[in-house]
Amino acid sequence: QVQLVESGGGVVQPGRSLRLSCAASGFTFNSYGMHWVRQAPGKGLEWVAAIWYDGSNKYYADSVKGRFTISRDNSKNTLFLQMNSLRAEDTAVYYCATEGIVAASALDYWGQGTLVTVSS
Amino acid sequence: DIVMTQSPDSLAVSLGERAAINCKSSQSVLYSSNNKNYLAWYQQKPGQPPKLLIYWASTRESGVPDRFTGSGSGTDFTLTISSLQAEDVAVYYCQQYYNTPRTFGQGTKVEIK
Protein backbone atom coordinates (compact mmCIF):
# COMPACT_ATOMS: atom_id res chain seq x y z
CA GLN A 1 0.00 0.00 0.00
CA VAL A 2 1.10 3.56 -0.61
CA GLN A 3 2.92 5.07 2.33
CA LEU A 4 4.36 8.56 2.70
CA VAL A 5 6.32 9.48 5.81
CA GLU A 6 7.46 13.05 6.36
CA SER A 7 10.31 14.00 8.66
CA GLY A 8 12.60 16.90 9.41
CA GLY A 9 10.19 19.27 11.09
CA GLY A 10 10.95 21.10 14.31
CA VAL A 11 11.44 24.48 15.90
CA VAL A 12 13.71 26.89 14.02
CA GLN A 13 14.55 30.55 14.41
CA PRO A 14 13.46 33.11 11.81
CA GLY A 15 15.96 33.39 8.99
CA ARG A 16 17.30 29.89 9.46
CA SER A 17 16.91 26.84 7.24
CA LEU A 18 15.28 23.44 7.48
CA ARG A 19 15.08 20.45 5.14
CA LEU A 20 12.02 18.25 5.07
CA SER A 21 11.99 14.72 3.71
CA CYS A 22 9.18 12.48 2.54
CA ALA A 23 9.97 8.77 2.29
CA ALA A 24 7.72 7.00 -0.19
CA SER A 25 6.87 3.34 -0.56
CA GLY A 26 4.24 1.08 -2.07
CA PHE A 27 4.26 2.57 -5.54
CA THR A 28 6.64 3.33 -8.40
CA PHE A 29 7.98 6.60 -7.05
CA ASN A 30 9.80 7.65 -10.23
CA SER A 31 6.57 7.56 -12.24
CA TYR A 32 4.59 10.22 -10.39
CA GLY A 33 4.65 13.89 -9.62
CA MET A 34 4.85 14.92 -6.00
CA HIS A 35 3.62 17.92 -4.04
CA TRP A 36 4.08 19.71 -0.75
CA VAL A 37 1.02 21.26 0.89
CA ARG A 38 1.03 23.08 4.21
CA GLN A 39 -1.50 24.00 6.85
CA ALA A 40 -0.91 26.73 9.39
CA PRO A 41 -2.38 26.06 12.86
CA GLY A 42 -6.17 26.31 12.69
CA LYS A 43 -6.09 27.40 9.05
CA GLY A 44 -6.83 25.92 5.65
CA LEU A 45 -4.68 24.11 3.13
CA GLU A 46 -2.05 25.98 1.12
CA TRP A 47 -0.34 24.37 -1.85
CA VAL A 48 3.43 24.96 -1.63
CA ALA A 49 5.33 23.24 -4.42
CA ALA A 50 5.30 20.45 -7.00
CA ILE A 51 7.85 18.46 -8.94
CA TRP A 52 7.50 16.27 -12.01
CA TYR A 53 8.13 12.52 -11.84
CA ASP A 54 11.66 12.96 -13.19
CA GLY A 55 12.48 16.23 -11.43
CA SER A 56 12.63 18.12 -14.73
CA ASN A 57 9.99 20.68 -13.80
CA LYS A 58 9.29 22.39 -10.50
CA TYR A 59 6.56 24.81 -9.45
CA TYR A 60 6.17 27.02 -6.40
CA ALA A 61 3.63 29.18 -4.64
CA ASP A 62 4.53 32.87 -4.76
CA SER A 63 4.74 32.87 -0.96
CA VAL A 64 7.78 30.54 -1.02
CA LYS A 65 9.35 31.22 -4.41
CA GLY A 66 13.05 32.01 -4.08
CA ARG A 67 13.21 30.63 -0.53
CA PHE A 68 12.05 27.00 -0.86
CA THR A 69 13.38 24.33 -3.20
CA ILE A 70 11.62 21.07 -3.99
CA SER A 71 13.70 18.12 -5.14
CA ARG A 72 13.61 14.35 -5.26
CA ASP A 73 15.96 11.39 -5.23
CA ASN A 74 14.30 8.67 -7.26
CA SER A 75 17.02 6.18 -6.35
CA LYS A 76 15.98 6.56 -2.70
CA ASN A 77 12.24 7.09 -3.21
CA THR A 78 12.47 10.34 -1.31
CA LEU A 79 11.04 13.83 -1.79
CA PHE A 80 12.62 16.89 -0.22
CA LEU A 81 11.74 20.47 0.61
CA GLN A 82 14.66 22.75 1.39
CA MET A 83 13.34 25.76 3.26
CA ASN A 84 15.59 28.80 3.61
CA SER A 85 15.05 32.25 5.12
CA LEU A 86 12.20 30.92 7.21
CA ARG A 87 9.58 33.32 8.51
CA ALA A 88 7.01 33.09 11.27
CA GLU A 89 4.30 32.73 8.63
CA ASP A 90 5.92 29.50 7.42
CA THR A 91 4.83 27.84 10.65
CA ALA A 92 2.62 24.95 9.59
CA VAL A 93 2.17 21.24 9.24
CA TYR A 94 3.80 20.25 5.95
CA TYR A 95 2.29 17.35 4.02
CA CYS A 96 3.71 15.55 1.03
CA ALA A 97 1.24 14.12 -1.45
CA THR A 98 1.26 12.06 -4.61
CA GLU A 99 -0.26 13.19 -7.86
CA GLY A 100 -2.34 10.92 -10.00
CA ILE A 101 -1.54 7.39 -8.86
CA VAL A 102 -5.22 6.53 -9.02
CA ALA A 103 -6.92 9.86 -9.54
CA ALA A 104 -5.75 11.67 -12.65
CA SER A 105 -3.85 14.79 -11.49
CA ALA A 106 -5.49 15.15 -8.09
CA LEU A 107 -3.55 14.63 -4.86
CA ASP A 108 -4.52 11.08 -4.08
CA TYR A 109 -2.26 9.99 -1.22
CA TRP A 110 -1.03 12.11 1.68
CA GLY A 111 1.45 11.65 4.47
CA GLN A 112 0.66 12.39 8.11
CA GLY A 113 2.61 15.64 8.00
CA THR A 114 5.51 17.16 9.89
CA LEU A 115 5.22 20.32 11.99
CA VAL A 116 7.52 23.25 11.35
CA THR A 117 7.53 26.03 13.92
CA VAL A 118 9.42 29.22 13.15
CA SER A 119 9.96 31.14 16.34
CA SER A 120 12.68 32.98 18.19
CA ASP B 1 -3.89 32.58 -10.02
CA ILE B 2 -7.28 30.87 -9.91
CA VAL B 3 -9.13 31.84 -6.75
CA MET B 4 -11.37 29.17 -5.25
CA THR B 5 -14.22 30.39 -3.05
CA GLN B 6 -16.33 28.01 -0.99
CA SER B 7 -19.69 28.65 0.61
CA PRO B 8 -20.78 28.47 3.29
CA ASP B 9 -17.79 28.61 5.64
CA SER B 10 -19.61 26.26 7.97
CA LEU B 11 -22.90 24.42 8.18
CA ALA B 12 -24.72 22.32 10.73
CA VAL B 13 -26.96 19.55 9.45
CA SER B 14 -29.07 16.99 11.25
CA LEU B 15 -28.10 13.34 10.99
CA GLY B 16 -29.63 11.82 7.88
CA GLU B 17 -30.22 15.17 6.25
CA ARG B 18 -28.59 16.58 3.13
CA ALA B 19 -25.54 18.83 3.17
CA ALA B 20 -24.35 20.86 0.19
CA ILE B 21 -21.10 22.75 -0.20
CA ASN B 22 -20.47 25.13 -3.06
CA CYS B 23 -17.17 25.96 -4.71
CA LYS B 24 -16.68 28.70 -7.27
CA SER B 25 -13.51 29.25 -9.30
CA SER B 26 -12.45 32.67 -10.59
CA GLN B 27 -11.97 31.18 -14.06
CA SER B 28 -13.13 28.03 -15.76
CA VAL B 29 -11.35 24.80 -14.84
CA LEU B 30 -12.96 22.93 -17.74
CA TYR B 31 -10.33 21.80 -20.21
CA SER B 32 -11.98 21.92 -23.61
CA SER B 33 -9.75 19.32 -25.28
CA ASN B 34 -10.98 16.49 -23.04
CA ASN B 35 -14.13 18.08 -21.59
CA LYS B 36 -12.96 17.43 -18.05
CA ASN B 37 -13.21 19.70 -15.05
CA TYR B 38 -9.92 19.83 -13.16
CA LEU B 39 -11.56 20.01 -9.74
CA ALA B 40 -11.14 17.81 -6.68
CA TRP B 41 -12.79 17.60 -3.26
CA TYR B 42 -10.98 16.60 -0.06
CA GLN B 43 -12.21 15.72 3.41
CA GLN B 44 -10.10 16.49 6.47
CA LYS B 45 -11.03 15.16 9.88
CA PRO B 46 -9.45 16.64 13.02
CA GLY B 47 -5.85 15.59 13.49
CA GLN B 48 -5.72 13.80 10.14
CA PRO B 49 -4.31 14.62 6.71
CA PRO B 50 -6.73 15.44 3.91
CA LYS B 51 -8.33 12.58 2.06
CA LEU B 52 -9.30 12.70 -1.60
CA LEU B 53 -13.04 12.19 -2.10
CA ILE B 54 -13.82 13.32 -5.64
CA TYR B 55 -11.79 14.16 -8.75
CA TRP B 56 -12.72 15.30 -12.24
CA ALA B 57 -15.44 17.19 -10.32
CA SER B 58 -17.70 14.13 -10.11
CA THR B 59 -15.64 10.91 -10.02
CA ARG B 60 -15.74 9.28 -6.63
CA GLU B 61 -12.44 7.94 -5.34
CA SER B 62 -12.44 4.21 -4.67
CA GLY B 63 -13.99 3.38 -1.31
CA VAL B 64 -15.78 6.70 -0.90
CA PRO B 65 -19.42 6.13 0.10
CA ASP B 66 -21.97 6.91 -2.58
CA ARG B 67 -23.67 9.44 -0.35
CA PHE B 68 -20.90 11.82 -1.50
CA THR B 69 -21.62 13.32 -4.92
CA GLY B 70 -19.73 15.94 -6.85
CA SER B 71 -21.39 18.02 -9.54
CA GLY B 72 -20.94 21.16 -11.61
CA SER B 73 -18.87 22.39 -14.51
CA GLY B 74 -16.83 25.36 -15.60
CA THR B 75 -16.70 27.64 -12.57
CA ASP B 76 -19.44 26.36 -10.27
CA PHE B 77 -19.29 23.12 -8.35
CA THR B 78 -21.12 21.40 -5.52
CA LEU B 79 -20.27 18.60 -3.10
CA THR B 80 -23.41 16.99 -1.75
CA ILE B 81 -23.67 14.59 1.16
CA SER B 82 -27.06 13.00 0.67
CA SER B 83 -27.59 11.67 4.18
CA LEU B 84 -25.17 13.05 6.75
CA GLN B 85 -23.54 10.50 9.04
CA ALA B 86 -21.66 11.20 12.26
CA GLU B 87 -18.39 10.18 10.63
CA ASP B 88 -18.81 12.90 7.99
CA VAL B 89 -18.03 15.66 10.49
CA ALA B 90 -14.99 17.27 8.91
CA VAL B 91 -13.70 20.22 6.93
CA TYR B 92 -14.14 19.91 3.18
CA TYR B 93 -11.91 21.60 0.61
CA CYS B 94 -12.18 22.02 -3.12
CA GLN B 95 -9.01 22.35 -5.20
CA GLN B 96 -8.37 23.12 -8.83
CA TYR B 97 -5.62 21.27 -10.67
CA TYR B 98 -6.17 23.08 -13.96
CA ASN B 99 -2.92 24.97 -13.50
CA THR B 100 -0.34 25.98 -10.92
CA PRO B 101 -0.51 27.23 -8.29
CA ARG B 102 -2.92 24.45 -7.36
CA THR B 103 -5.23 26.58 -5.28
CA PHE B 104 -7.60 25.36 -2.57
CA GLY B 105 -10.84 26.82 -1.34
CA GLN B 106 -10.82 28.14 2.21
CA GLY B 107 -12.68 25.10 3.53
CA THR B 108 -16.18 24.38 4.80
CA LYS B 109 -16.70 22.93 8.24
CA VAL B 110 -19.55 20.44 8.48
CA GLU B 111 -21.05 19.73 11.89
CA ILE B 112 -24.02 17.88 13.32
CA LYS B 113 -27.02 19.99 14.31
- CA gap A118, B92 in Å, rounded: 27
A35 to chain B: which residues are within 8 Å by CB? 102
In the prediction, which pLDDT does A104 show?
Answer: 82
Segment A76-86, tens digit of pLDDT:
999 999 999 99
Name the average pLDDT for chain A. 97
Q: Which residues contact A41 (CB under 8 A, 6 or more apart)?
A: A91, A92
Q: Are strands A18-25 and A78-83 parallel, antiparallel or unpaired?
A: antiparallel
Segment B40-90, tens digit of pLDDT:
999 999 999 999 999 999 999 999 999 999 999 999 999 999 999 999 999
Please tell me which of the candidates B1, B50, B62 has its beta carbon nearest to residue A45.
Answer: B50
Segment A42-69, tens digit of pLDDT:
999 999 999 999 999 999 999 999 999 9
Size of interface A-B (CB pairs under 8 A): 68
pLDDT band at A103 (very low <50, low <70, confident <90, very high): confident
Least confident of A92-96, A101-105, B36-40: A101-105
Name the average pLDDT for chain B. 97
Q: Give the three-state DSSP class for B47.
A: coil
B51 to chain A: which residues are within 8 Å by CB? 110
